[in-house]
Structure 1
Amino acid sequence: MSKTEPISVPARPILLTGGRIAAADGTLTRAEILIDAAGRIAEIAASITPPPEAQRFDATGCLVTPGFVDVHQHLDKTGVLRFAPNPSGTLQGARDAFAAYARQAPPEDIFRRASKTIAQCLSRGTLAIRSHVNVDKDAGFNGIEALAQLRADWSDRVALQLVAFMTPHPGQDLAWLAANIDRAAQSADAVGGTPAVAEDPDRYLDLIFEAAARHGLPVDLHMDEHLDPNRLHFAKVFDRVRRFGMQGRTVLGHTSVLSAIPRAAFEPIMAEIIDLGIGLVTLPAANLYLQGRSADELPPRGLTRVAELIRAGVPLATASDNIQDPFVPSGSGDLLEMARWTLLAGHLKGDELATTYRMITEIPAKLMGLRDHAIEKGSLANFNVMRSDDIDTLVAGGPSASSIFARGRLVSQDPRSALLPA
């Protein structure tokens, strides 16, 4: 079991030697990294003469990567599979199961489950998470208030952002959501929802975009997480992105339906996504598990058009989504595993392993608006030291050992790791 409490506090500078820094495109540069006592990268060079009090770590044989970024999780739901089964295996079945559980789940339960998952993600190299948190008549504010406390508790190790996920349910009008969205937004880093299941999508999208604009927050939606080509909401979203000035501040998760429409309909949508600076997130675990269950033959994969979007330059990230709950019964918090799923299920090719590396580092960091995330002089020292030959090998099979640094501290270390003070 990896430790996730601080192992080394930078009361003095740290010099990391022998490692190879992995750029976003997978290229490697052998360099030394000097971390100052404040936990920032003071210098990167082929050879550094450190202050005499510096602690040295030898990273020979290891890659140094930015901390992984999980841009779409549901920490309020994580780990409830045993208490909220989903016999149908469908999206609506999962929604119903969690809604029933949320009516009686105490805040301390959410706090405990989410803490465990955050620690698990950290041990696998994830240093930033954006979590959608249900706010509705069933869950109330239990989830967002518990996770707001966790956001503060983990701020020295993991950058946690919360999306006020204003969740409509069948038979539930939008009055409660409209009356409570401002309170939710005050605890959130973004505002979101799922227009495909709203009874009045226009009114629903208006309340989300209006609240986001009012509070100066970005928008992050679950977008058309279905395979019905006759139910598209992209035009409605694009209209509001323009009206509310949300260009470059809107993220759409899932977009599964894009794989169910003809190319002639898909290409204009993709062009508008690019024009408006909208980011996308594919969630292979959830979409492979939940989608296409009604098909008797050749069930669809349920993902969006991963290969075409990323090759066209759309900022497309991949993420865990749900972890061990009614929506996804599996999951370990390992984004390298999600990168592999994305390559396989998204019909990327063997020479695009480095592309999936960008989908868990550089791209989601930009979608979350993270600063200080790249490995460069002046940034916070948030990075992974992972034993592997190169980025292709790292994505394909994972590291043989790893050590995780947050703000210049060694916060998690695999027992197999050979990264020891030199």
Structure 2
Amino acid sequence: MAPWNLHLVNVRLPLLDESKLYELKGAGGRWMSVKPQPEGTVPAAGALKLPLLNGKPHHDGETVRLDLEGRMLLPGFVDAHMHLDKAYSLAKVGNRSGTLEEAVRNYGAAVPGFSREEIRSRIRRSALAALSYGTRSIRSHLDFNLKAGREVAMRTVHAALEVREELKNVIDIQFFPMLPYGLRSPGTEEALAEGFRLGLDGIGGAPHLSPEPEADIDWIFALAEKYGRPVDLHADESDDPGVRTVAHIARRTVAYGMQGKVTADHLCALSAMDEKTAGETIRAMADAGLSAVTLPAVNLYLQGRGDRGLVRRGTTRIRELLEAGIPLAAASDNIQDPFHPFGRGDLLQIGQIAGYAGHLGAPGDLRTVLRMLTSVPAAILGLEDYGTAPGLPAHGVVLDARSVDELFAEVPPSRWVLRQGEWIHASVQLRVWDTLQLAPAAQEGGRPAGVADSETA
């Protein structure tokens, strides 16, 4: 079915100018016109209003005219760091201590027992969950457990690429295999090369866990240069201030001329360092053109396990990274697996958690957080078609909020997801803004009718 022509009015575009309302027109799956409206809302005679009926609007001929009544439209969230293959595995892979070390150990032991269809099912479920919350693009780090055998590692790769093909018309997914640390061998490179031939996108890993982290980092960069791939590494996911592999990642980035093509994730150890050391490390990252991703939900859960009394927050130095000009995204990481028993793939929830963890609650901070979920990760992933402008794909998510402050304060559950001019998902639970009508108060007791006393309820 061809995309409908779209005509949206009274739209708020916070990534352009939050103070204005816009009129948007689309055809052939792309935006044709994006224009500010005159002051205030425009008449919307004949326009449909949300919620959409059964997820699909009725339409007159080939055009859908929709009045968003001041609600927000974003180009879609971008999740720069997920583990789609691990998601929803908690029932089979437990973690009694709640530590990162046990999670790594238990999942590694369980991987050989996962069937290809089981991995496919988890990837499909978690990708579609993220889509339902408005995510349009994902970078997923894949388990690549060559220590358990090549067949085990490639099983995950095949499952992931099969799901990507299945979902290609609704969500974009990049896959970065996590090279096993301490396994620098021709066999590892051959498996990686096969993965690239099949369609993997870049190189990942967690070299800070290696007994020889710098040697592993050197090897990863040599492979990245040979195969022309970007690098995205778990870095310094530790409470130990002496874990500083990101400094070597920065040096290798400069040495290989890969500025703008390398991302470092987690960076928990930065928060454990003294101010001088942390400042020097962050400056080295900025000078090397590194991008970074904070994973606030998972790091709040995993880190600080050995602390007593005042427990460390676990997240990286969010504000300092931002002040240094380092592109910083916030992402989901793990969903209901041994690394993190919570989560649902909702980046708006992750943004709120980042606000809590990083003390980012001022109006300017919240707008920075919004960019950490949208335009910044889009640049990290290299999305050239991201935005809401004439000529770009008519992708987006409509959110049930009229300001960025309201968006993060309320985390509205309703989302309407647009993909190339098609509404592919719709939530129908609208919140009430200024039309709430309470029943008349009871003559005795002064409370609204129908509300019981707590003592008698």
Fold match, TM over 0.5?
Answer: yes
C-alpha separation in 2, matches of 1:282 and 1:191 = 19
Do 2:89 and 2:337's aligned partners in 1 also have CA atoms closer than 8 Å? Answer: yes
Q: Using the TM superposition, name which of 326-335 and 310-319 deviates more.
A: 310-319
Over 3 Å counting, the alpha-carbon distance change for 1:41 and 1:207 in structure 2 is same
Secondary structure (helix, strand or coil) at the match of 1:19 reads strand
Over 3 Å counting, the alpha-carbon distance change for 1:67 and 1:217 in structure 2 is same
Do structure 1's residue 184 and structure 2's residue 176 form an aligned pair? no
Give how far 1:126 is off: 0.7
Secondary structure (helix, strand or coil) at the match of 2:113 reads coil
1:31 counterpart residue number: 22
The C-alpha deviation readout for 1:49-73, integer Å capped at 9, x for no partner, is xx98422222123111120011000
Do structure 1's residue 289 and structure 2's residue 301 form an aligned pair? yes
**Which of 176, 179, 184 matches 1:174?**
184
Over 3 Å counting, the alpha-carbon distance change for 1:333 and 1:11 in structure 2 is closer
Do 1:194 and 1:223's aligned partners in 2 also have CA atoms closer than 8 Å? Answer: yes
Give how far 1:179 is off: 4.3
Secondary structure (helix, strand or coil) at the match of 2:204 reads strand
Q: Using the TM superposition, name which of 15-24 and 178-187 deviates more.
A: 178-187
C-alpha separation in 2, matches of 1:62 and 1:318 = 23
Do structure 1's residue 244 and structure 2's residue 264 form an aligned pair? no
**Which of 21, 35, 40 matches 1:45?**
35
Secondary structure (helix, strand or coil) at the match of 2:250 reads helix
Q: Using the TM superposition, name which of 329-338 and 184-193 deviates more.
A: 184-193
2:51 counterpart residue number: none
Do structure 1's residue 360 and structure 2's residue 369 form an aligned pair? no
The C-alpha deviation readout for 1:86-130, integer Å capped at 9, x for no partner, is 111111100111112111101110111111111111111111110
C-alpha separation in 1, matches of 2:161 and 2:219 = 22
Do 2:3 and 2:420's aligned partners in 1 also have CA atoms closer than 8 Å? Answer: no
Q: Which has the larger radius of gyration?
A: 2
1:6 counterpart residue number: none
Over 3 Å counting, the alpha-carbon distance change for 1:173 and 1:208 in structure 2 is closer
Give how far 1:239 is off: 2.0
2:85 counterpart residue number: 76
Identity of aligned residues (%): 33
Give how far 1:276 is off: 1.8
Query: For residues 19-418 of structure 1, what are the structure 2 equivalents within 5 Å?
Result: 19-23=11-15, 27-37=18-28, 39-46=29-36, 53-137=62-146, 138=148, 139-168=152-181, 173-175=183-185, 176-186=187-197, 187-351=199-363, 352-399=365-412, 401-416=414-429
CA RMSD of superposed structures (Å): 2.1
Do 2:205 and 2:233's aligned partners in 1 also have CA atoms closer than 8 Å? Answer: yes
Q: Using the TM superposition, name which of 397-406 and 63-72 deviates more.
A: 397-406
C-alpha separation in 2, matches of 1:112 and 1:53 = 36
Tell me, which stretches of 5 or more residues in structure 1 are unaligned? Answer: 1-8
User: Structure 2-normalised TM-score?
Assistant: 0.84
Q: Which amino acid is 1:317 matched to?
A: A
Do 2:247 and 2:284's aligned partners in 1 also have CA atoms closer than 8 Å? Answer: no
The C-alpha deviation readout for 1:340-380, integer Å capped at 9, x for no partner, is 11010122233322111111001110110012111111111
Tell me, which stretches of 5 or more residues in structure 2 are unaligned? Answer: 43-59, 432-457
Do 1:173 and 1:199's aligned partners in 2 also have CA atoms closer than 8 Å? Answer: no
State the 4+ residue runs in structure 1 displaced beyond 6 angstroms. Answer: none
Q: Using the TM superposition, name which of 365-374 and 182-191 deviates more.
A: 182-191
1:3 counterpart residue number: none
Give how far 1:155 is off: 1.7
Q: Which amino acid is 1:273 matched to?
A: M
Over 3 Å counting, the alpha-carbon distance change for 1:239 and 1:191 in structure 2 is same
Do 1:164 and 1:185's aligned partners in 2 also have CA atoms closer than 8 Å? Answer: no
User: Structure 1-normalised TM-score?
Assistant: 0.91
C-alpha separation in 2, matches of 1:355 and 1:381 = 24
- Between the two structures, name the one with larger relative contact order (CA 8 Å, sep ≥ 6): 1
Over 3 Å counting, the alpha-carbon distance change for 1:53 and 1:46 in structure 2 is farther
Give how far 1:157 is off: 1.3
Do 1:132 and 1:164's aligned partners in 2 also have CA atoms closer than 8 Å? Answer: yes
Secondary structure (helix, strand or coil) at the match of 1:140 reads helix
